[in-house]
Amino acid sequence: MDIRNEIIEADTFYHIYNRGINSCEIFKSQENRLFFLSKFTHYLSEVCEVYAYCLMSNHFHFIVKIKSEEVLKTFAEKNTKSTIEKKYGLHALSNIFSKQIGKLISCYTQSYNKVNNRHGALLESPFKRLKIDSDDYLRNLIVYIHLNPFDLKENYMDFRFSSYLAIVSNKKTNVKRDEVIKVFENLENFIYSHKYPSQNNFDI
């Protein structure tokens, strides 16, 4: 089945990830990452909630929870000035999130190409998405995403461009801090689970 035909359901968790074409670098600087995060908030904060993220040099990960059908319908009607009734097709509620991701990727690619004097697509298409269907999967995936900086030989506890620091601190954040901690029961278990992760292998 073509991934583009998969329905993205309201009130559902997804692992959203993508990488540069041929694994090329998509973030060359801190400014790139900050710009990407700001545009993520701009295009997607009204249609999903963020539970975890990590921006690596050539790929990114997000765990999001799609908002309710009512919220998606209100967003769509506000932005298209028309009533959304279809369950399938280009203008269906199930495609709103994908369309917003598309706007984010297009905006970021245009900016990146202009700064780096390049042309063409930057990220693989379509973007990858996996439905998260259990609490255990959600917990293990949050840990997996936060431990990604090990691939850069960086300490995940100090890595600026993941949601780990936002969750263990009291600073203002768009990440659903309280909800993430609740998934692990408490902050102590959240920290422990990262220090002593399970051996689940996410081959993506």
* Structural domains of the chain, ranges and CATH numbers in brackets: 8-195 (3.30.70.1290)
Q: Which residue has the tokens 């509620």?
A: 93
Average pLDDT over residues 2-6: 59
- Rounded to the nearest integer, the mean pLDDT of the chain is 90
pTM of the full predicted structure?
0.90
108 CB contacts (<8 Å, ≥6 apart)? 35, 36, 39, 122
How confident is the model over 21-75, as pLDDT tens digits? 999 999 999 999 999 999 999 999 999 999 999 999 999 999 999 999 999 999 9
How confident is the model over 157-190, as pLDDT tens digits? 999 999 999 999 999 999 999 999 999 999 999 9
Look at 9-13, 25-29, 83-87 and tell me which has the smallest mean pLDDT: 83-87
Q: Which stretch of DSSP H or E encloses residue 85?
A: none
Helices (H) and strands (E) in the chain, counts: 7, 4
Q: What is the CA radius of gyration of the chain?
A: 17
What SS3 state is found at 128?
Answer: strand
Question: Which pLDDT band, with edges at 50, 70 and 90, does 6 fall under?
Answer: confident
